[in-house]
Amino acid sequence: MLFGIEWDTSSNLAFAISILPILLIGMWVTIQATVLGFFIAIVLGLVLAALKSVPLKIVSWPAYAITEFIRDTPLLIQLFFLYYVLPEYGLVFPAFLTGALALGIQYSAYTSEVYRAGIEAVAKGQHEAARALNFKSLRTFTHVVLPQAVPRIIPAMGNYLVSIMKDVPVLSVVTVLEMLNVAQIIGDRTFNYLIPLSMVGGLYLIMTLVASSAVRYLDMNLPKRGLPLK
């Protein structure tokens, strides 16, 4: 029994059917962690990218250093750090939040590079026109650069969404009951790993296919308005 739901081991089919609701609860946690982690990644990544584009080295250099540090260390270390070290300093987050935060921070390093490439692809003349019209630099960034960068970066961001989804099982090491963790608990208790793990694989396939087609739909339906897309 898990989450108050009993399983039926009388046959493989009955077992599969009985554990499906349990796995779906785990899947819901996986989806929530993905969405929250992705949200953190795209916001934090944008901040990092904006800092990196500042011409002052005192501002841009730390942003580069942070990105490089995050990229060159494993997700698991960051996760352990947030989960075990921060509480020593009085910062205690629930496991789920800690996990989503770790995912978000890890992927912000990647998304910031995507933003940066997208931002750098905006023609120099656009900055000059904005300057000639006396826009402030923040407005140039939000009203001229970003709207032109975003359509270019959606496919790459979509790939990271799927990657985050596939990294969520890492959170099981800090007790988050995401889908794979749930499947493993079921396996431990019933000595049947084959069926829950296969089902997790199948459910993952469905989730990633849905996510990537949603991204492709968005990409195809976003107005490109003559932007030169590579």
Partner 1 sequence: MTDPIIKFDKVVKRFDTLTVIDELDFEVGQGEKVTIIGPSGSGKSTVLRILMTLEPIQEGVVYVDGDMLWHEKANGGVKPAGEAHLRRMREKMGMVFQQFNLFPHMTVRRNLTEAPVKVLGMSKAEARERAEELLDMVGLADQADKFPHQLSGGQQQRVGIARALAMRPKIMLFDEPTSALDPELVGEVLSVIRRLAEEHDLTMLLVTHEMQFARQVSDRVCFFDRGKIKEQGTPEEIFGNPKEERTRAFLKAVLEGE
From 21, 147, 201, 202, residue interacting with partner 1 (rule: CB under 8 A): 147
In the complex, the smallest distance separating the C-beta of residue 131 from partner 1, rounded to whole angstroms, is: 6
Phi, psi angles (nearest 5°) of residue 5 = -110, 130
Question: Is 142 an interacting residue with respect to partner 1 (CB under 8 A)?
Answer: no
From 5, 94, 131, 205, residue interacting with partner 1 (rule: CB under 8 A): 131
Specify the stretch interacting with partner 1 by CB under 8 A; choose among 58-66, 69-77, 168-176, 219-227: 219-227
Question: Is 128 an interacting residue with respect to partner 1 (CB under 8 A)?
Answer: yes
Nearer to partner 1 by Cβ, of 115 and 204: the residue is 115
From the list 140, 136, 146, 129, the residue with the least C-alpha distance to 47 is 146
Q: 143: how many CB neighbours lie within 10 A of its CB?
A: 13
Helix, strand counts (H, E) of the chain: 9, 0
- Quick check: 99 and 174 in contact, CB under 8 A? yes
Binding mask 58-87 for partner 1 (x = CB under 8 A): ------------------------------
Residues ≥6 apart with Cβ < 8 Å to 131: 140
Nearer to partner 1 by Cβ, of 5 and 129: the residue is 129
